Amino acid sequence: MADVRILTGNEAAALGVKLCRPNVVAAYPITPQSQLAEILSRYVEGGEMRAEYVRVEGEHSALTVCISASTVGARTFTATSSNGLLYMHEQLHWAAGSRLPVVMCVVNRGVGAPWSIFNDQQDSLAQRDTGWIQLYCRDNQEIIDTIIQAYWIAESLYIPVMVCYDGFVLSHTMMPVDIPDAEEVRGFLPPYKAHTLLTPEAPRTINSVLFPWRRPNPEGVLCDGYMEMRYKLQAAMTRAHGVIQKANDDFAGVFGRDHGGLVWKYRCEDAELVFSGMGSIANEATVAADLLREEGIPAGVAGVRTYRPFPREEAAEALRSAKALVVLQKGLSYGYEGCLTSDLKAALYGTPLRIPVVDVVAGLGGRDVKAREIADAGRDAWKDLQAGKQGNRSLWLNCYTGEDHAG
């Protein structure tokens, strides 16, 4: 019998973590993630979850605890938001370079300065090149399901995974969530097997300084240099495309819910105007697409669920019938354009698709993004297309752009 509950995104995430049975949870509070850590602490204190709950003095230490515990063979979890994620930056590289399958929830929030406790995705987008897999969730059901898949993916590839979801928009909003059966999760997710075990009986030096070239160890075995280690991480990221898709497909086979793997599609079969985005803003775009369909505009949505590794081929396939692309994003690369826009343009390079791309920056610092506003951006793109305008352009949605000053 289905176990359906009305839960916030943070509650759904906590239940997902509990179902995955981590051995160590490291926590430091930061809005809007704090509720997730608090729920996990209650699970541990109440005996519902057998894990070491480590309270640390900051986010850098939270990830350091996970790195240490994962190195000795423990399944680990942590979570953070905003400037807390930025404070982890050094250790993000360390976890990925050590090939440790840490899973972390990033409850997306705007970064300071100026301070904001509200949502955008600049925090995780700023960490896209640290070697972590990044998965973005569009609703609370996807949060719990993605956390379970994240452990499967991380421990198959020995690459850490961020499960990203929008602060307040999802973290504190209540929705119906179908809770996966605990025994079925046990069957889906095998126990963690560390690639390197550090024990008193088998001492070793972990992550020693590497020279630029390959060299033999004391036993005469030729070992990789720094560049070979970087190549192996990149190669694993390339393999991750298939692993992420298999995790999604196997999960769908067991639990009956298919979240698309790398890219999810909504009414894309004949769509000529396609919206793209990540997380809740892409979900909102499905409503905008329906509004435009009622007006005779063939609109659809190609949502990016896996941002790193970037699904180049899958994105291009989803856009095969598109004649115009509108990219909605809650973050940007300052001095250039939205990060997702750049990546989608690169994905289309070398394909037969030569379509105009509208770069839409929206929802920064929690500014509301309504379906009708997204539909307006779509109508404008459609009018340009009908008028024969083929150039790319940028738009800041629902933002006063008349002045450039620091105050």
All CATH 3.40.50.920 domain ranges of the chain, comma separated, are 265-396
78-82, 210-214, 286-290, 366-370: the lowest-pLDDT one: 210-214
> Quick one: pLDDT band at residue 211, thresholds 50, 70, 90?
confident
- For residue 299, pLDDT over 90 is answered with yes
All CATH 3.40.50.970 domain ranges of the chain, comma separated, are 4-188
Secondary structure of residue 227 in the 3-state scheme: helix
Fold held by 4-188:
Rossmann fold (3.40.50)
Q: What gap in Å lies between CA 181 and CA 171, rounded to an integer?
A: 22
Q: What gap in Å lies between CA 348 and CA 315, rounded to an integer?
A: 8
388 torsion bin: left (phi>0), alpha (psi -120 to 50), beta (else): left
| Rounded mean pLDDT, 216-220 | 89
Look up the CATH number of domain 265-396: 3.40.50.920
Look up residue 213 and give its amino acid.
W
Q: What gap in Å lies between CA 151 and CA 292, rounded to an integer?
A: 38
Arithmetic mean of pLDDT over the chain: 96
Q: What is the pLDDT of residue 203?
A: 82
- For residue 137, pLDDT over 60 is answered with yes
| Rounded mean pLDDT, 303-329 | 97
| Rounded mean pLDDT, 120-137 | 98
Q: What is the pLDDT of residue 406?
A: 60
Query: What residue spans of 263-370 are helical by DSSP H?
Result: 280-294, 312-318, 339-348
- For residue 202, pLDDT over 90 is answered with no
Q: What is the pLDDT of residue 196?
A: 82
Q: In the sheet that 324-329 helps form, which strands lie side by side, from edge to edge?
A: 263-266, 299-304, 273-277, 324-329, 357-361, 393-396
Q: What gap in Å lies between CA 312 and CA 241, rounded to an integer?
A: 10
Contact 259, 178 (CB under 8 A): no
Q: What is the pLDDT of residue 199?
A: 78
Q: What percent of the chain has pLDDT over 70?
A: 99
pLDDT in tens, 63-77: 999 999 999 899 999
Look up the pTM and report it.
0.96
